[in-house]
Amino acid sequence: MATTEPQVLATDVAATAVAAPAANALISVRALDAFFGATRAVRDVNLDFLEGQVTAIIGPSGCGKSTLLRCLNRMHETVTTARVEGEVRLDGKDIYERSVNPIEVRRRIGMVFQRPTPFPTMSVRDNVTAGFRAAGRAAPSRAEQHAIAEWALHRAALWAEVKDRLNDSAMALSGGQQQRLCIARALATKPRVLLLDEPTASLDPLSTQKIEELVYELRGDVTVVIVTHNMQQAARVSDRTAFMLLGDLVEVAPTSRMFTSPSDERTEAYITGRFG
């Protein structure tokens, strides 16, 4: 009797193959693992961040979302014992190649942290232009830096509030103003991508609203990736949402679909409040 070969379903092949980057992907993450010593905090993540869109990363505390974010501009490797395996491609080039300068990566992929981090000994204006200090002779002239600072402060919706205080200490600003100052500082070097790690977690509701409005307005000009524990915030500001759990990327989808008809039961359980 003739034997028949077992059939392989197309869906099985798709599940095991690494997908090609989306046509409009600015950053493509493939087979990414992130470690702290022997502990693997992020496991085999494959994810595209689409140019000009806002992607939110959600999930319970400790799920690896901030670690993933820090891998996107090589901030993860600044932690002792931390390392990364896999690829993060910006415009098709792996930022983890030996020939790539991590400082240049961070100029092209800016980052703003959970708590405002203005430089306490610098003025408002000098905080915005601080990113040019490492450029040496390649840095713009002082006059050009002043023009860039004004542009970035306008872009961060802060100019009207600080235009008469440019030489004052940044520490004199409110918490919400300081966070927008940090966003202006990140924007000053004209990054392709802006990473935001829980940018409103320490802010009052009014300041949170201003940051959310800013994130919404940046779409199109800058590719934004925002980590947030606030699902309502993700729904308000993002085009796509990725859900992480225990270091795994469970699901990514357009935000409207993610919050109305998620594909994975774990996603549905999280967004309906059954855990997390």
For the chain, what is the mean pLDDT? 90
Hey, what amino acid is at 26? L
Q: Can you tell me the mean pLDDT for 50-70? A: 96
Residue-level pLDDT at 3: 42
Q: Is the confidence at residue 24, as pLDDT, over 60?
A: yes
pLDDT tens digits, one per residue of 148-167: 999 999 999 999 999 999 99
Q: Of how many residues is the chain composed?
A: 276
Long-range contacts of 245-248 (CB under 8 A, 24+ apart): 245/59, 245/60, 245/63, 245/270, 246/63, 246/64, 247/40, 247/41, 247/42, 247/43, 247/63, 247/64, 248/43, 248/44, 248/45, 248/64
Q: What pLDDT, in 10s, does the model give residues 82-141?
A: 999 999 999 999 999 999 999 889 989 999 999 999 999 999 999 999 988 776 777 889
Contact 26, 108 (CB under 8 A): no
pTM over 0.75? The answer is yes
Contact criterion met (CB below 8 Å) for 239 and 219 = yes
Nearest alpha-carbon partner for 145 in 101, 190, 108: 190
pLDDT, one tens digit per residue, over 208-235 is 999 999 999 998 899 999 999 999 999 9
- Predicted local distance difference test score (pLDDT) of residue 215: 94
Q: Give residue-wise pLDDT tens across range 170-196.
A: 999 999 999 999 999 999 999 999 999
The residue among 274 and 199 whose pLDDT is bigger is 199
Q: What local confidence, expressed as pLDDT, does residue 37 receive?
A: 95
Closest by CA to 107, choosing from 74, 144, 76, is 74
CATH for 20-271? Answer: 3.40.50.300
pLDDT of the residue at 240: 97
